[in-house]
Each structure stands twice: as structure tokens, then as C-alpha cells.
Amino acid sequence: MPSVFISYRRSDAVDVARRMASELKTYFGADAIFFDQTTALPGAKWPDSIRAALDEAQVMLVVIGPTWLDARDEQSRRRRIDLAEDWVRQEILTALQRQRNGEPLEVIPVLVSDASMPDPGHLDEELGELCEWQGIRVVSSGTTHDFDELKEQLVRLRIEPRVLPPVATPRFRRLPQRLTQDEEQAFLAKWSEWEIVETAEPHAPGGVMRELHRVYEFTTFEDAFRFMTEVVRRAIEPYSHHPRWQNAYFRVEVWLTTFNLNYRPSNRDVRLAEMFEEIWREFTSKPKEAPPPSA
């Protein structure tokens, strides 16, 4: 059963909750996270699936956005959180009851979109205990770093990350040499189309990859694909050093770093970048082929 249960109100912070669920599933594994839009099986009754997940969860995340407290029932116009049949209310009461019974369950309010922790006086006696728990604030910048603090807290609560096999650069006889700051600047001075960027390290909250970055643009998808094929044949396979790259139509985007050096650029990355440039010059210097004569 899932270890982490995400409680949220669909009319309040569904987009952030959905993105949170996706990030946590990537980091901890899909089986570890219960998020009702993606975890409940087709045909299952919502109350049954929610109750089963709550009975087994080790951590409950209560996602609180700016309208969480004041969301209203369309017919009665009463606050939903005050209604006995409201599922958010029932989820929280179930979690609080498990705590009173001495069961191992942590409750973490997650504050999003500048929301504040509800005042205990704005909740009834049954729900007031929720306000005693220390919340975590999520700043929704749209990046993978938004949930770093939350991931770290879950790890401290012994929710185990999904461990993926590390990607390691082939060592040959010795590790490549990491670029010094002066060498990085010399590379940038020589190749003005390249830059150095820092991006989130996969599956390591707060970790940063430092990478050489370049975008190549072609006139057709066929040219872009031929360019990548030529790079594989002449640069990647002979030296067994691989880029992180992607192709979108006529554009090829490249990131170069050395995994064995804690995701920092090395002399192998410089060599591969220069091979990219050599092949690029050949592509751009070739005269355009004339179209075949029409019949």
C-alpha cells in the first residue's frame, strides 16, 4: 500500500497537488504515493480506495491553498470543511483518529500559493488539532526544486527513495579531469555559442548538475537527425562519452557533463563539444543540393 497519502481539495489547489504527486512518484516510486486521480483503480469505489490507503499510510500530506478553508457547497453555501460528508474533512479526521489510537502516522500541512495555516478558531473542535502540526511551504516556481524540502522531510520520516542505478561514465584507465574555473572560461571564450548552465540533479533533492549547453538549428528534421547520427558515429562511439541531448523537429539541444565527477564538466566534455562543432561546421559549409529537375 502507498506510504504517503495526498489530501487536497479539487477546487483549491489541484494543479499543484497533481504536480506534487508526479514529482513524489518519480522520486519515491509510484507505489509509494496515493493521489486519488491517478492511484485509485478504475471501477473502485472512491470511499473504499481512500479508506484503504489511509489505513496503511505512514504520512498524510494535507495540501492547503488559498481557498481550502472557505470553499463552499454549491447548494447550502456552507463551508465544505464543516460538512460531515466532505471527503477532505473525513480524510483528516481519519488521520487524526489514527494518531489518537497511537498508530504511526505523520500529518504534514503543505501550504501552497501563498496560503496561510488556518487559525484554530476557524475550525471546529474535531479538526482543530490539524493546526498544531508544523507545515511546509511550497513556492510554486514551476521547477523540480519546488518540492525539495518536502522530499527531504519524507526521507527523514523514513520514506525510502526509489534507488535507480547510477549512470557512470566509462572509466578506462583513469577518471577524466574536471575543468577548473579558468578552463571553463577559456572554453566559453573559444566557443561563444556554448554556455554553462546549472540544472536539478535527478533523484537528489537540492543537487545541481553543472553542464556545457548548446542549441543547434537546422533547416529540416532530416538534417538534424543526420547530424546526430554523425555525432554518434564519429564522436560518441569512439570515445564512449555520451551527451544528454534531445531533438525537437529541426533543433538539437545538447548538455555535456561527467557523471563520475558529481555532474561537473570535464576534459572529455570539452573534447566532445569540439567534435560537435567540427561536425556542425561540415554541415553548415556543405552547398545545398539542387532539387531534381521536374519531369
pLDDT digits (tens, 9 = 90+) for 191-235: 999 999 998 876 666 678 899 999 999 999 999 999 999 999 999
Q: Which residues pair with 4 in a beta bridge?
A: 33, 59
Query: For the segment 39-83, what is each residue's pLDDT rounded down to a tens digit?
Result: 555 555 557 778 888 888 999 999 999 999 888 988 889 998 998
Residue 166 has pLDDT above 60, yes or no: no
Q: Which three cell numbers stand for residue 174?
A: 583513469
- Residue 168 placed within a domain: no
Query: For the segment 23-32, what is each residue's pLDDT rounded down to a tens digit?
Result: 898 888 888 9
Same domain as 216, residue 128: no
Q: How crowded is residue 85: how many other Cβ atoms within 10 Å of its Cβ?
A: 8
Cα–Cα distance between 250 and 179 in angstroms, integer?
A: 31
Pairing of strands 208-217, 251-256: antiparallel
Domain count, the chain: 2
Last residue of a domain, one of 156, 171, 199: 156
Residues ≥6 apart with Cβ < 8 Å to 222: none
Domain containing 270 equals 181-285
- Predicted local distance difference test score (pLDDT) of residue 46: 59
Which of 6-20, 62-76, 211-225, 275-289 comes out lowest in average pLDDT? 275-289
- How big is the CA angle at 249 (ends 247 and 250), to the nearest 5 degrees? 90
Per the model's pLDDT, the better-predicted residue between 162 and 275 turns out to be 275
In the sheet where 106-112 sits, what is the strand order? 33-34, 4-7, 59-64, 106-112, 136-138
- Residue 166 placed within a domain: no
- Residue 133 placed within a domain: yes
- Predicted local distance difference test score (pLDDT) of residue 186: 96
Could you tell me the CATH number of the domain that includes residue 215?
3.30.1360.20
Please tell me the total number of residues recorded for the chain in this structure: 295
Residues ≥6 apart with Cβ < 8 Å to 72: 78, 79, 80
- Residue 220 placed within a domain: yes
Same domain as 111, residue 56: yes
pTM over 0.85? The answer is no
